[in-house]
Amino acid sequence: MAFETSKDVLDWYEKQERTLTDEFIDSIPWSEVRSTPLDDRLIPVLLYMRDVEVLTEMYHRELRRTPTGRDPVIAKFMERWGVEEVTHGQIIDRFLNEAGHRTPEDWQRQTHRGVPVSYHTSTYLLTSLTNLLGSCFTATHMAFGAIHEMSTGQAYRRMKDIAAHPVLSTILDGIIREEAAHTHFYRSVARIELAKCKAAQKVARKVVDTFWRPVGQGSLAKERTEYCIAMLFGDETGEGVDVLDRTVTKRAHQLPGFEGLDKTTHRFRDICRRLYPITTAASLLFSIDLYAVV
């Protein structure tokens, strides 16, 4: 589907119905969660996914200070995007509790409070600087977002395959559908904006080459990010990283100005080589919490 303007993309997005409605959530066989065992090493990954999702509220707040925050089309998309991502975090938290991994009631507040001050300071500076980029920032933000959404979608797919848990699969299928719609929005608007001028392509590429980090790193501890990547994409043959390369990096190459991007694949491969295999003992470090229930 080829769109001519970002408004066309928004119109398409608004026609997509939500998957994770209240009815969908109520129809999940929650009582069957404990019937299938869950690999303990996946707990820290689910906690990480949950935290990244609910921190979208914070990312959304930061983005409102940038040129795209003042773009009525993108701002409208971000309103719904922000709500959908938070639902993803909340449903993952419910799954964890149903599976027997109790989390504190105020876990959302604790997740927000755990973000380091250094993150807030550098983000404030960066979002202020985006105003210097003007319209080039739209292309940059959309390209950045497309890469983040694509890698998030792949992380959920890997989680589904590795966990092989029927109830979690139902939940993840719903999340993956919504992530796919986000990806389509970001990629489509990125294509339109990048095609407008070479300067936008150069700026976007430079920003991604310089600042791209896996989703959540920075607002959450780097060790947690790396644990998740090694757990989801690490294996003996390197096949997991090859999948990431095909489904994220190679797709990003299709964006104008992004030919030959290799930072994403290199970063994932480096982490997997260093940390694979993940042991149950290593997983304890990240699952005992964080926010211990007392």
Min dist CB 52 to Fe ion, Å, is 8
Min dist CB 221 to Fe ion, Å, is 20
**Which of 115, 197 has the CB closer to Fe ion?**
115
Q: State residue 217 phi and psi, 5-degree precision.
A: -65, 130
**Which of 88, 141 has the CB closer to Fe ion?**
88
146: nearest Cα among 62, 65, 224, 208: 208
H/E stretch holding 92: helix 72-98
**Which of 64, 196 has the CB closer to Fe ion?**
64
**Which of 60, 88 has the CB closer to Fe ion?**
88
Q: State residue 178 phi and psi, 5-degree precision.
A: -70, -35
Min dist CB 31 to Fe ion, Å, is 25
Calpha distance 109→55 (Å, rounded): 10
Integer CA distances (angstroms), 9 to 2, 3, 6, in order: 9, 6, 5
Which residues lie closer than 8 Å to 97 by C-beta, 6 or more apart? 103
Min dist CB 207 to Fe ion, Å, is 20
Min dist CB 88 to Fe ion, Å, is 4
**Which of 93, 149 has the CB closer to Fe ion?**
149
**Which of 9, 133 has the CB closer to Fe ion?**
9
| 55 residue type, one letter | L
Q: Which residues bind Fe ion (CB under 5 A)?
A: 53, 85, 88, 149, 179, 182
The residue behind tokens 């150069």 is: 202
**Which of 149, 226 has the CB closer to Fe ion?**
149
Which of helix, strand or coil describes residue 157?
helix
Calpha distance 210→203 (Å, rounded): 10
Min dist CB 266 to Fe ion, Å, is 23
Min dist CB 190 to Fe ion, Å, is 14
Q: How many CB atoms lie within 10 A of CB 155?
A: 25
**Which of 133, 190 has the CB closer to Fe ion?**
190
Q: State residue 110 phi and psi, 5-degree precision.
A: -65, -35
3-state helix vs strand vs coil in the chain, percent to 5: 75, 0, 25
Distance, CA of 141 to chain centre: 14
